[in-house]
Amino acid sequence: MTKILRIDSSIKTEGSISRQLTDDIMARVVAAHPDAEVTTRDLGANPLPVTDANWLVAVNTPADQRTPEQADIAALSDALIAELKAADVVVIGLPIYNFSLPSQLKSWLDQMARAGETFRYTEAGPEGLVKNTRAIVAYSSNGTRLGSDIDFASGYLRHMLGFFGITDMQVVASDHYAIDADSSLKSANDGIASLAA
């Protein structure tokens, strides 16, 4: 059974282009895998706590030595990591806020960036531990073109996913919506239509 993890990060619950695109991507992927098991994290509607000193201590304390509070803190991070590791496909909504990714999505990445869980250090350098997972990213922006000099989001997300071991990342983009909405959405829809389901 195919397992799909959907991550939405737009703070808009209505009128979000990235949510519309993740809906369309999900429809295509699920149509190809009708028995798929889908897990959804809506980071825009339900933001994760930011990582702080308490988080750092909690996740680096052996499980059998954690206080109840530390166990609760680590449990969320553990659950997020387990969702990602279990996924065959992860679909990520990436709206561009101020030329970068939403803080909600950054918090998700931070919660999972744990040595020994999603990566490890070796003599040859870091090695990602999340294997055989494909990422499909819905990039939406009013005018920050995908891959341009002012796009500080897509390259960072690609790097972080690769750091975790996810090197198969495809991006569909509606990246000039405020300039030409129809053309921008057509470009994204063409990209979705060309995805290998």
Give binding residues as ranges: 10, 16-18
CA–CA gap between residue 44 and residue 10 (Å, rounded):
5
CA–CA gap between residue 70 and residue 100 (Å, rounded):
31
Q: Give which of 166, 162, 163 is closest to 90, Cα–Cα.
A: 166
Q: Give which of 70, 74, 96 is closest to 11, Cα–Cα.
A: 96
Binding site, annotated residues for FMN: 10, 16-18
For 108-140, letters b (16+ CB in 10 Å) and e give: bbbbbbbeebbbeeeeeeeebbbeebbbbbbbb
Geometric angle at alpha carbon 80, from 40 and 113, rounded to 5°: 130
